[in-house]
Amino acid sequence: MTMRITQTSIAASTLANLQSSLQRSSRLQEQLSSGKVINRASDSPSGTVSSLALRTQIGANEQYSRNANDAKAWLGTADSTLQSVNSRLQRVRELTLSASSTGNMDVNSRQALAAEVTSLRSELMGLANTTYAGRPIFGGTTSGSQAFDPTTYTYVGDGGSVVRRLDARSTVDAAASGTAVFGDGATSVFTLLDDIAAHAVGDTSQLAGDLTKLDSRSQQVLQTLTDVGVRYNRAEAAATTADNTVLSLRTTLSGVEDIDLPKTIMDLQLQQTTYQAALSATAKVLQPSLMDFLR
């Protein structure tokens, strides 16, 4: 039995082909407009899955970069502050040696020396309460505005770790220990400087012991400086790694999502040419003569 091909079936098939061609042109135009191969999940299910995974990784590494840079800011502030602390302590050492020398130093000179030591103690208190982003860098995770009470010299921080995640497997503590650097209360560097100021104008025989304590405190400052420097370098390396990873992932993402502009333009031109040719041919097919209707 021979199947009869009617004018209606020819028209339907031809129009369906035209519609399909028009949809391909429309999709290419949308890709050119957006610059993306994938404009909806149905465009490429596998590509969409890859895109989402890459974007998740990019987001994570961007956060690692922010964390590392925040740690660098904390540790950089601690480093510069500790440098200043060290220079003040060195000046106090010079003054202590001068006050303990056997040479003649009149009362006025000793009082001036003691006044400078007291001034340096006030400067050290200011450095001990240095803040970054409104938080004391030697105060741990305290919500207060100070690490040390300026009146009692008591440590009022909490000694907690300011933890920043550098990648999926490692973290860094961005804080510096306030008590390790400055001590606490009666055993603090502030009390020591008060003692030095008093002994400079009083019992100078005590200055030798003060000097030993001062050297011990200075050594602790240098050790903390070294530790802060090591952690700063870790954070800096982590920030660089995260930034490079983001750049690499974005390149990969571009290969998944972005169009090949020259190729897409050529494909669209070819599709439009094909569509126009099909449209012309269809017009001829869909123009039945009067005799065709009378048959």
Distance from C-alpha of 43 to C-alpha of 26, rounded to nearest angstrom: 13
List CB contacts of 168: < 8 A, sequence separation 6 or more.
60
Distance from C-alpha of 280 to C-alpha of 257, rounded to nearest angstrom: 35
Letter string b/e over residues 91-128, b meaning 16 or more CB atoms within 10 A of that residue's CB: ebbebbeebbeeeebeeeebeebbeebbebbebbbebb
According to CATH, the topology of domain 53-253 is f41 fragment of flagellin, N-terminal domain (1.20.1330)
pLDDT of residue 290: 43
Helix (H, G, I), strand (E, B) or coil at 102: coil
Q: 43: closest CA among 57, 23, 60?
A: 23
pLDDT of residue 45: 76
pLDDT of residue 191: 98
pLDDT per residue, tens digit, the chain (295 aa), is 455 555 555 555 656 555 665 566 566 566 656 666 666 665 667 777 888 899 999 999 999 999 999 999 999 999 999 999 999 999 999 999 999 986 678 889 999 999 999 999 999 999 999 999 999 999 999 989 999 999 999 999 998 999 999 999 999 999 999 999 999 999 999 999 999 999 999 989 999 999 999 999 999 999 999 999 999 999 999 999 999 999 999 888 877 766 655 665 676 567 666 666 666 666 666 665 444 555 5
Distance from C-alpha of 197 to C-alpha of 99, rounded to nearest angstrom: 9
Judged on CB neighbours under 10 Å (0-12, 13-18, 19+), 36 is middle
Letter string b/e over residues 160-183, b meaning 16 or more CB atoms within 10 A of that residue's CB: eebebbbeeeeebbbbbbbbebbb
